[in-house]
Structure 1
């Protein structure tokens, strides 16, 4: 006999399901696995050892009608939000979006100089940025450095502007519930210190436009249970023979990352209440710097010399150091840390009229020891990302489309 409360629970779950945009739902079927099995020379080792490599994949097929409206069909491979992986630099995309969203709510232009002060001994201040055109820091310039070269300090400054509590609450309110953003990157600060964020002010023409005091996150967002991975880790130069606990580390489930990218690339597909408060110019800005190569960049000028085309382009290109084709663009955010290699990309070939979304993570840590700098990114991770991107691209190249997509929205002008 089904109890009344069971009906209520069922109704609640159904309402939650239908509340999600169709683009957020995916089929955890065997479509991707069948595709990978057609190429044993590329994927046999990965497919034979799924637990070892902890691969998760999401692929979205995009079909447009005569009005150029996209219909999204998403397939998943071993996607499970309860299977923790460290998201590394992929979290930075959310910082860019949330910082721009916050500026728009405050009525502040993204190019307005942003001065970060220090309120605690552990914090650092920033009043200049010699890599920007005017020598001053701004949300726009931090966002550029994140999207072009995955700059850690730039992320930390946006994290401080947003604030830990607002960062998490904002994402959770928009339906991104399998997310924990708990710390700055490449920072020695403790979990407790990361709950404190710096005072920030915006100045224009010598006048203070907005001043934000130092903040403290009143809620503890870390995992309620230990998140144990591996069999050991290096601390202060010594090997600790016990699993590493990621409970105080960032987390951003693969499905959530994929959905965030969909909200950026296809904002009209997202319910109004879940959209980010971005202007059309913000979207153009994001599309430009997500897809622009370092050599095409004016500021920071050093990116032309310091970074090769594939520096942060893992899927399809595998961080290759050779010159990449200009008619294929990855609008993406990648990351690598603790042996986890990730990429989250909308891929467009403007010559062939191909577009698709692909998000993936692979674990490359044979010895199961963290912080020993012995990760198999080059031998396992990057080849996997190249082969995965290539396999999906080939599938897209051969499948029939009733309508060639108009991709002019994403054909942006680059710095040079």
Structure 2
């Protein structure tokens, strides 16, 4: 059975399953009432206008039984997988998982996430990556790409994982895991759709520079389903800052519905809680590595050595970040991935408080573009999105602190031994492209 047939069948079944509620957002009274208890004016303003802000929220309560087995209860505000939002850097999470999965499936002796991976080019639109001065070894690797993608949301790291996995494998793998309404179509650089279908040759080398594995350039000839258009705004600026007075077309851009993102994160943190078909093929040490860098802070990390002032503790921890709070509460760790672009801001988080023995999942996306112009870099991230995320996170966190549980969770599985920043003379890294 061809992939095109399977894809079209999946699209048909997905449409058939969602068509009775097409365009109807899911909202739960419980979560709505809980959020009303926060009387912050800006927070309530956004909640009263969910369509204007293209707001979606998923809150998952986690309860343990006497054997510590978790159960999950989801609550929603305005969640609709057919309502497009730009996922921005949140797609770096599935790319990291697919990169590890591909390494495991290759099964090449000596090739793992720490092995030197060099990227070549096969046409003029592609760029090489042979060295990485942010890495302790001085060379790129999947492990270093994942660190950079999670710690400060580095874009080049995502591009290189995209080139390793390949556009075809990315989308086939996500669809096979049941995420039929997702698509990953492009790198985070200006390329044509056809150029994004082409991915670079890649090679893995041992410590002596000997070739371990060579992957040729690839081309994805699978079709994408662009039948559902997604156009937003009243105008946009071109690369030459010319104003085009028509909506910006996201139809061919990356798509990752909030519920899919939330479920992908759950599949990493609680793999046994999702069907086997939805799990990524990861090893025990892969999970340990992911848990560390999903939750480790930039200032704790030695390679890369990020500037702690610019990339403070809560830089990519939206639910615990505002203009005054740049540090997490004692005992709190957040395993998450954020993204922001085109006025959209998104966070998918698993929050653990080891001191107070609580845990929950929270994901949300918001659109803040008052003037309706895309690509003008005039978005209300600081004045609206971040304050809203902080108020949302604190509302759920305070509720969880007071919520009674039948069984206190054993959270030791998620305890990580984090790095301690070395006092060396290397300059810190600033102004990452993210």
Give TM-score scaled by structure 2 length. 0.88
Report the 3-state secondary structure (helix = DSSP H, G, I; strand = E; otherwise coil) of the residue aligned with 2:292.
Answer: helix
Q: Which residue of 2 aligns with 1:415?
A: 419
Report the 3-state secondary structure (helix = DSSP H, G, I; strand = E; otherwise coil) of the residue aligned with 1:53.
Answer: coil
Distance 1:273 1:226, change over 3 A: closer
1:215-246 superposed Cα distances (whole Å, 9 cap, x missing partner): 11101325224311111000121111000100
Answer yes or no: is 1:38 the counterpart of 2:37. yes
Tell me how far 1:270 sits from its aligned partner: 1.5
Once the two structures are superposed, the pairs formed by residues 241-256 of structure 1 within 5 Å of their partners are 241-256=245-260
The structure 2 residue matched to 1:217, chosen from 217, 220, 233, is 220
1:264-313 superposed Cα distances (whole Å, 9 cap, x missing partner): 01001122222111111111101101111111001012344641111111
Q: Which residue of 2 aligns with 1:371?
A: 375
Distance 1:125 1:14, change over 3 A: closer
Distance 1:63 1:27, change over 3 A: farther
Q: Which sections of structure 1, spanning at least 5 residues, go unmatched?
A: 1-12, 19-25
Q: Which residue of 1 aligns with 2:3?
A: none
The structure 1 residue matched to 2:399, chosen from 395, 401, 407, is 395
- In structure 2, distance between residues paired with 1:102 and 1:320: 41
Distance 1:15 1:293, change over 3 A: closer
- In structure 2, distance between residues paired with 1:331 and 1:319: 21
Once the two structures are superposed, the pairs formed by residues 123-202 of structure 1 within 5 Å of their partners are 123-185=126-188, 187-202=189-204
Distance 1:387 1:221, change over 3 A: same
- In structure 2, distance between residues paired with 1:69 and 1:198: 43
RMSD (Å) for aligned C-alpha atoms: 2.1
Alignment check: 8 A CA contact 1:114 1:137 kept? yes
- In structure 2, distance between residues paired with 1:398 and 1:345: 20
- In structure 1, distance between residues paired with 2:344 and 2:117: 33
Once the two structures are superposed, the pairs formed by residues 72-111 of structure 1 within 5 Å of their partners are 72-107=72-107, 108-111=111-114
Answer yes or no: is 1:314 the counterpart of 2:318. yes
Alignment check: 8 A CA contact 1:311 1:319 kept? no
- In structure 1, distance between residues paired with 2:270 and 2:316: 22
Alignment check: 8 A CA contact 2:330 2:355 kept? no
Alignment check: 8 A CA contact 2:236 2:244 kept? yes
Distance 1:286 1:262, change over 3 A: same
Alignment check: 8 A CA contact 1:312 1:334 kept? yes
Report the 3-state secondary structure (helix = DSSP H, G, I; strand = E; otherwise coil) of the residue aligned with 1:146.
Answer: helix
Q: Which sections of structure 2, spanning at least 5 residues, go unmatched?
A: 1-11, 18-24, 421-434
Alignment check: 8 A CA contact 1:28 1:77 kept? yes
- In structure 2, distance between residues paired with 1:302 and 1:85: 30
For these two proteins, the number of residue pairs brought into alignment is 396
Alignment check: 8 A CA contact 2:26 2:79 kept? no
Tell me how far 1:69 sits from its aligned partner: 0.6
Give TM-score scaled by structure 1 length. 0.91
